[in-house]
A and B are shown apart, each in its own frame.
Chain A
Amino acid sequence: QVQLQQWGAGLLKTSETLSLTCAVYGGSFSDDYWSWIRQPPGKGLEWIGEINHSGSTNYNPSLKSRVTISVDTSKNQFSLKLSSVTAADTAVYYCARVPGAGIAVDGVDYWGQGTLVTVSS
């Protein structure tokens, strides 16, 4: 059984950098891709990006210029940084596991509990 536990600041001001971390318990960290997905209040899901244990990343083109996803294999953790946030970045952010070869091939099978990040001016 895989568990994902995420944490990070929940309230930011415009232009600050969002930072979230997700710890993975169980499973094999090196076998899978690890993803970030967000959901604005009352709206749909948006895929942000993914990373594997070797640091290979894929990003949503619409967010790529502001997003960095990194991995710490010694702690079985991965992190999200989103720079220059605005109110449009207010959302619940989920970390998630994508087994195998990435989001295009295997989808998401485990999700973190979600973190509401609110951006205010």
Chain B
Amino acid sequence: SYEVTQPPSVSVSPGQTARITCSADALPKQYAFWYQQKPGQAPVMMIYKDTERPSGIPERFSGSSSGTTVTLTISGVQAEDEADYYCQSADSSGTYGVFGGGTKLTVL
């Protein structure tokens, strides 16, 4: 089955920059999307189509892409950014969606 790989955890101090990576073979030709999920809540889209930010999402959240890896960058991390972050993409044919395993961001 097609896999999307994320690190299980990332830790960062407040005000620092957090980078969460996501790797998959088809990322050069399939978009990536990033979601933030806090305990007991539904996920929220933070980045779509690799680099685009939905309205209402703070500018400190940004996305980038390079080959088979995409990266979610959170600049000037705040305590409220502590959450699980999921990368989502699609298989090489664009037929079905796949989520990464999620990354727990801890703000120290």
Contacts and interface: CB of A to CB of B under 8 A. Distances in A.
A44 B95 contact: no
Nearest to B91: A104
B30 A109 contact: no
A45 interface: yes
A43 to B, nearest CB: 8
A113 B31 contact: no
Nearest to B86: A45
Interface in B70-108: 86, 88-91, 94-102
Given A44-B101, A62-B1, A94-B42, A105 B86 contact: no
Given A45-B102, A46-B99, A47-B88, A105 B42 contact: no
Contact of B54 (A58, A94, A109, A111): A109
Contact of A61 (B48, B89, B96): B96
Contact size class for A?
A: 20 to 34
Contacts of A113: 42
Given A94-B42, A104-B90, A114-B42, A44 B96 contact: no
Contact of A105 (B94, B96, B100, B102): B94
B65 to A, nearest CB: 14
Interface string B47-79: 011000010000000000000000000000000
A56 to B, nearest CB: 12
B28 interface: no
Interface string B24-43: 00000011010101000011
A81 B30 CA distance: 28
Interface of B: 1, 30-31, 33, 35, 37, 42-43, 45, 48-49, 54, 86, 88-91, 94-102
Given A58-B96, A107-B45, 17 more contacts: A35-B97, A37-B99, A44-B99, A45-B37, A45-B99, A47-B88, A47-B98, A50-B97, A61-B1, A103-B90, A104-B96, A105-B31, A107-B33, A108-B35, A108-B88, A109-B45, A109-B48
